[in-house]
Structures are given as C-alpha cells and as structure tokens.
Amino acid sequence: MVAEIKLPPVLEIIRGNIVKHGNPLAMKGTEVAAWANELKLPESGDLLFYTGGEYQLLPFIDSLVNTMTHLDQGSKVFSLMMGARNIINKTGINAEKLYASVLAKDRDRFNSISYKAAIILQKLGYDFCYAGKKELYSGALLSELGFCEDMKSYAVKVAEVLKQSQAKTIVCLSPHAAEVFKFVYPKLIQDFPFEIRTFVELVWERRHRLPAIKSAETVVIHDSCRLARELEIDEQLRDILQSVGVPFLEAKCNRKWTTCCGGPNKLLFPDISHTVASRRVEELEETGADLILTSCPYCLSALQNGQLKEDKTKIEDLIEFLYRGFEA
C-alpha cells in the first residue's frame, strides 16, 4: 500500500487559490490592478503590459509563508487558524488574504513598481494595453511545483484573457512569467501566437532615450537565475546602466553563474531560503557596493529577507532605480 503524500498546507492553499481565483492569494482583480487606475490604459492593443500580479502580491505571499511556517501545525493555534479559515471562506472572505494582510510589509513599495515600470515604458515611447482586473497570474508556481494537470487547465484560462487583448507581443515584468509563457505555454496551448519579451529587453532597445542618473552610490548587479540562464539576459542590464552613466561592480558569481537568491526554497524550506539569501547578500556586499540591483520580484524579496539587521547595503529593483531618472 502506497502511503498518502500530504503537501504542506501553504502549497495546497496557494495551489487552490491560483486554480480557483487566478492568483496565489485569491485577491480580487480590482485589487491587483489598482496600481494602474490613474493611467487609464486601454484593454487592447499590439503590446500587452503584463504584471501577473507578481510584484503586487509578493509581500502578501511572504507574510502568508511566515504565518503558515512559523506555527506548530499540531498546535491548538494552528488548528484554530485552519478552522477559522474554513468559517471565513464560507462568508466569502478569503482568510489567507486576511492573515497575510495583517503582516504584510512593503505593500505600497511593491505595488508601485508596476506603476513605475509602466511610466518608464511610456517615457521611452511605447504604447501598450493592460488587461486590468481581468489579468490572471501566469501559473508559473503551478509549473515550477509540479502541478502539471492543474497547469494544463489553468493555462487555457490565462491564454483566453491574453488573446482578448488582441496583442501580438507580451512584455513581462517578471522573468518567471516570461519563462513560463515562452517555454511552457506553447506546449500546452495549441494556438499561442505571442512574442514574449521582458521589461529589461524593451528598455535595452531604447536605452539611449533614458535620462542620466546622478548617483554617488556604487552599484552591484544581482543576476536573476531565470533572467540570466533561461532567458539569456545579462549583458543588457549592464548596457542599460552604462547608458544612464552609472558604473557598476561585479560579484564573483555573476551572469549565468549567478548565485541563487534563495527564493525558490521559500515555500517549503523558509529557513534554508533565508540562509541562501544571506550568503548571496554577503557575496554582493563583498564588492563594497552601496546598492544591490536586481530585476525579479522574487529576488528582490528574497534578498531583502536575507539581509541582517547590521547590513546597510540598499537593495532595489532596476525599475525603481531607472525611475529615479524620470523624477529628477
């Protein structure tokens, strides 16, 4: 007799929310898309701006993981929490979002990154559309965690929303979304006619239009493994910094040989994730840089969580850094 394999509760919750609600925390589309309200973006066009809610949701996911993993799952507190989740769900309120919202940090910051990315692309002369409240999470976690059957059916829903935009090209803020759209969706969806690009690529192509950034900070690049290895985007980051007049340092492990940020371990092994992230932060800080730059929401979050209290090095997303030039 084969023993039943039980998945950690946090995986079951995230899996169920993606399949049923279209994102890992079952947040409403209006909440995920609120960052774009004042921009009044069209819902159709040749170029589709795609966030997948990844920057917006990440602080909440971090809080959910912390809540679920730091409780003894055999304790009365955990039992009460899971019981409360069932009761609250019956009233139409998602308990995971409730728990996560109480503990979430950096909500405003992460939510603003999508807005800043859109402004940067507009300043560079790109016209694009956005699905707004209809936008669904890419399902990358379903694919990465091995929920293959769920991914097959979920991909159909996502593809339908993408096709409604009538776009020819999709620009992804997250390399995880770009990877799953570029390599996984064509195998699952018979008609998936989109060209998949990343935010970094679009900026790189018009980098000479970027305003110079005056900064006394020394910068080191943390290459996202998805961006550098799977999508083969690394020199573009360096070209962009050169274009805005910012010198940069290199960590010992860079480009395709970049060290993991610890993010992939977070759901199952948060303690290991923290250790890996701390080691990567230490590697980056050994360069003597004042500022660590990355281009992935998961790297940004993981590296921040890996910082020790005494660490003074700042960590920013490339989007935040480039936006400085348009604020000056």
Domain boundaries, the chain: 9-203, 210-327
Per-residue confidence of the chain (328 residues) as pLDDT tens digits?
555 666 666 677 788 889 988 988 888 899 899 999 999 999 999 999 999 999 998 877 777 666 665 665 556 555 555 565 565 566 565 666 656 665 566 778 888 999 999 999 999 999 999 999 999 999 998 988 889 999 999 999 999 999 999 999 999 999 999 999 999 999 999 999 999 999 999 999 999 999 999 888 899 999 999 998 999 999 999 999 999 999 999 999 899 898 888 776 776 677 777 888 889 988 999 999 999 999 999 999 888 888 876 667 899 999 999 999 988 6
Among 241, 225, 144, 126, smallest CA distance to 184 is for: 144
Greatest CA span in the chain, whole angstroms?
67
For residues 203 and 240, is the Cβ–Cβ distance under 8 A? yes
Contact criterion met (CB below 8 Å) for 196 and 175: no
Phi, psi for residue 129 in degrees, rounded to 5: -115, 170
Which residue shows structure tokens 């807005």?
115
Measuring CA to CA, which residue among 234, 235, 251 is closest to residue 289?
251
pLDDT at 14: 80
CA distance 207 to 115: 19
pTM listed for this prediction = 0.89
Would you call 172 helix, strand, or coil by DSSP? Answer: strand
In sequence order, which residues have a C-beta less than 8 Å from that of residue 12 and are 6 or more positions away?
Answer: none
What pLDDT is recorded for position 58? 82
**Per-residue confidence (pLDDT) for residue 52, from 0 to 100:** 95
Q: What are the DSSP calls for 10-66, one per residue?
A: HHHHHHHHHHHHSSTT---HHHHTGGGGGG---S-SSEEEE-TTHHHHHHHHHHHHH
Cβ pair 49, 129 in contact under 8 A? yes
Count the neighbouring beta carbons within 10 Å of the beta carbon of residue 107: 15
CATH number of 210-327: 3.40.50.1860
The CA radius of gyration of the chain, in Å to the nearest whole number, is 20
List the one residue out of 126, 188, 130, 128 whose CA is nearest residue 157.
188
pLDDT at position 271 is 75
- Residue-by-residue DSSP string for 218-277: -EEE---HIIIIIS--SHHHHHHHHHTT--EE--SS-GGGPPP-SGGGTTT-HHHHHHHH
* Helix, strand and coil percent figures for the chain, each rounded to 5: 55, 10, 35
Integer Cα distance of 219 and 313 in angstroms? 10
d(CA 286, CA 293): 15
| The pLDDT of residue 304 | 86
What pLDDT is recorded for position 3? 57
pLDDT of residue 44: 96
The pair of three-digit structure tokens given for residue 26, joined into one six-digit string = 């079952």
Q: What pLDDT score does 33 carry?
A: 94
CA pair distance 204, 222, nearest whole angstrom: 17
Q: Rounded distance, CA 170 to CA 178, Å?
A: 9
d(CA 318, CA 312): 19
Distance of CA 127 to the CA centre of its chain: 23
